[in-house]
Chains A and B, each alone.
Chain A
Amino acid sequence: MNTVSIPVVPAASVAGMSTGRVIGAYLAEARSECLRYMRAPGFMLPIMLLPTMFYLLFGVVMGHPPGDDTARYLLVSYGVFGVMSPGLFGFGVSLALERDGGLLTYKRALPMPPGAYLLGKMLMAMVAAAVVILLLLAMGLGLGHVALSWQQAGLLLLTGVLGVLPFCALGMLVGTLIKGQGAPGMLNLIYLPMSFLSGLWIPLNLLPKTLQQIAPVWPSYHLHQLGLTALGLQHGVAIRHAAILVGFAAIFFLIAVRRLRRYG
Chain B
Amino acid sequence: MTISSDVVARLDGVVKRYNGVTALDGVNLLLQRGELLAVLGPNGAGKTTSIGLLLGLIRPDGGKAELFGMDPQRIEARRRIGVMLQSAMLPFTLRVGELLRLVSSYYPQPRPLEESAALAGIGDLLNRPYGKLSGGQQRRVQFALALCGRPELVFLDEPTVGMDIDARRKLWNAMRALVAEGCSVVLTTHYLEEAEALAQRVIVMAKGRVLSEGSVDALRAQVPLARIRCATDIDPRAVAAWPQVTSAEREGARLLIQTSEPENVLRRLLDADAALSALEVQRAGLAEAFTELTREEGEQQEAA
Q: Which residues of A contact B (CB under 8 A)?
A: 11-18, 21, 24-25, 27-29, 32, 35-37, 39-40, 98, 101-103, 105-106, 108-114, 264
Contacts and interface: CB of A to CB of B under 8 A. Distances in A.
Given A13-B107, A13-B149, A109-B57, 5 more contacts: A16-B76, A101-B87, A101-B89, A103-B91, A111-B79
B197 interface: no
A35 B88 contact: no
Given A12-B109, A17-B79, A264-B57, A29 B102 contact: yes
Interface string B66-94: 00000000011011110101011111111
Nearest to B79: A111
Interface string B204-235: 00000000000000000000000000000000
Nearest to A11: B152
Contacts of A35: 93-94, 98
28 contacts: A13-B149, A13-B152, A15-B108, A15-B109, A16-B79, A17-B79, A21-B105, A21-B108, A27-B105, A28-B102, A32-B98, A35-B94, A40-B93, A101-B87, A102-B85, A103-B90, A103-B91, A105-B88, A108-B57, A109-B55, A109-B57, A109-B78, A109-B83, A109-B85, A110-B83, A111-B81, A111-B106, A113-B75
A17 B81 CA distance: 14
Nearest to B73: A108
A111 to B, nearest CB: 4
Contacts of B105: 21, 24-25, 27-29
A76 to B, nearest CB: 33
Given A13-B80, A109-B78, A25 B106 contact: yes
User: Main secondary structure on chain A at its contact with chain B?
Assistant: helix
B171 to A, nearest CB: 19
A106 B85 contact: yes
B87 A102 contact: yes
Contacts of B155: 109
Given A35-B94, A40-B93, A110 B78 contact: yes
B152 A111 contact: no
Interface in B93-114: 93-94, 98-99, 101-103, 105-109
